[in-house]
């Protein structure tokens, strides 16, 4: 399962396009390098501010305790890690593939005087640069969708967690209700890329974001993948009628 | 917004790499230990024969960004 997959001719989704696996990471990095500065602002606009509540819900479910050590994968600008510390967590490492996102996050951490309990590392979710069993919790919020091989990222999360550790994943998911889904699709494809063009001056990146959301596995499929990586007691909660879901698994 | 950042371009220099990070990090290829080369500002994985750069205090643990030690 830990395929290094070198020189493979395998293909990966990049939004609705199909690109060679080796290319996806660079493309994703391109997207986030170009949106880093305005990433959170765009999230606010696109989700009408609701992404903050979703991240709060993630931390609610995690229920941090003093001394808890968190790895936040794809944690870019520190949104999840800051909440974790404010809600009583111990320390956190933020690992992201895009240095620009990390630099932005660290700047904010320093501004909020949270820097001392946070470490910032540029790394790949599929090959984490951390020892086995070194974290109490591992979160990935709006990141797993961008990983080339989700299975490898799940296997890595499992590896770096201690026994009894918790994996939580916050990601866009599938709205079960047909009519709501149609409305949501229209909003996504008609409105979001235009807002991306207007606010971030970058239509293509936001086009990618909405396409990648539609290609991502639904709640049940993702739960099956998390279980296949070795996690136990896998469950999920839908938020905002299934626009996003939080999946949970334990390393038992 | 972006102009504001450029204006304060003279941010204080980043503190050098914190050696404490050596306990937190392993080589993403071998999962073995790393050593710190202060001269080149690199994290060296002898096992993988790779040197990972540290830029502005942030370790870049991506194989694509690492320098091969063979050459």
Instruction: List, in sequence order, every residue forming a beta bridge with A84; answer none if it has no partner.
Output: none
CA–CA separation, A195 vs A191, rounded Å? 6
pLDDT category, A192, cuts 50, 70, 90?
confident
Q: What is the mean pLDDT of chain A?
A: 89
Global model pTM greater than 0.90: no
CATH superfamily name and code, A11-18+32-176+207-250 = Vaccinia Virus protein VP39 (3.40.50.150)
Instruction: List, in sequence order, every residue forming a beta bridge with A96; answer none if it has no partner.
Output: A122
CA–CA separation, A176 vs A185, rounded Å? 12
End-to-end CA distance of chain B, in Å? 43
CA–CA separation, A118 vs A240, rounded Å? 30
Question: How does pLDDT run across A15-66, given as a tens digit for each residue?
Answer: 888 888 877 777 777 776 666 667 667 777 778 889 999 999 999 999 999 9
In chain B, the domains with their CATH numbers are 14-68 (2.20.25.10)
pLDDT category, A115, cuts 50, 70, 90?
confident
* Chain B residues whose beta carbon lies within 8 Å of the beta carbon of residue A102: 58
Rounded to a whole number of angstroms, the distance from the CA of A103 to the nearest CA of chain B is 8
Instruction: Select from B5, B29, B58 the Cβ nearest to the Cβ of A102.
Output: B58
- Determine phi and psi for A56, rounding to 5 degrees: -60, -40
Task: Write down the ipTM of this complex.
Answer: 0.84
CA–CA separation, A122 vs A153, rounded Å? 15
Cα angle A13, A14, A15 (rounded to 5 degrees) comes to 100
């Amino acid at each position: 399962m830990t395929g290094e997959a070198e020189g493979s001719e395998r293909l990966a989704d990049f939004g609705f396009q199909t690109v060679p696996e080796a290319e996806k990471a660079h493309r994703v990095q391109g997207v986030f390098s170009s949106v880093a500065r305005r990433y959170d602002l765009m999230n606010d606009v696109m989700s009408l501010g609701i992404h903050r509540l979703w991240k709060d819900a993630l931390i609610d479910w995690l229920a941090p305790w003093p001394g808890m050590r968190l790895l936040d994968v794809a944690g870019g600008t520190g949104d999840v890690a800051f909440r974790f510390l404010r809600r009583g967590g111990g320390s956190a490492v933020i690992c992201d593939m895009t240095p620009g996102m990390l630099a932005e996050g660290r700047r904010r951490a320093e501004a909020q005087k949270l820097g001392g309990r946070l470490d910032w590392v540029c790394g790949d979710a599929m090959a984490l640069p951390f020892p086995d069993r070194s974290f109490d919790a591992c979160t990935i919020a709006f990141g797993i969708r961008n990983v080339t091989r989700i299975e490898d990222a799940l296997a890595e999360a499992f590896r770096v967690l201690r026994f009894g550790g918790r994996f939580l994943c916050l990601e866009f998911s599938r709205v079960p209700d047909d009519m709501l889904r149609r409305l949501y699709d229209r909003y996504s494809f008609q409105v979001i890329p235009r807002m991306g063009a207007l606010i971030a001056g970058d239509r293509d990146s936001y086009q990618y974001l909405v396409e990648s959301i539609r290609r991502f596995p639904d709640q049940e499929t993702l739960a099956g993948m998390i279980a296949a990586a070795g996690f136990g007691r896998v469950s999920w909660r839908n938020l905002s009628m299934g626009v996003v879901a939080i999946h949970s698994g334990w390393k038992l | 917004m972006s102009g504001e950042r450029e204006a304060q371009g003279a941010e204080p220099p980043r503190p050098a790499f914190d050696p404490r990070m050596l306990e937190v990090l392993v080589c993403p290829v071998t999962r073995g230990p790393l050593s710190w080369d202060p001269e080149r500002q690199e994290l060296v994985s002898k096992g993988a024969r790779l040197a990972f750069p540290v830029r502005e205090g942030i370790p870049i643990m991506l194989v694509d960004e690492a320098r091969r030690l063979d050459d």
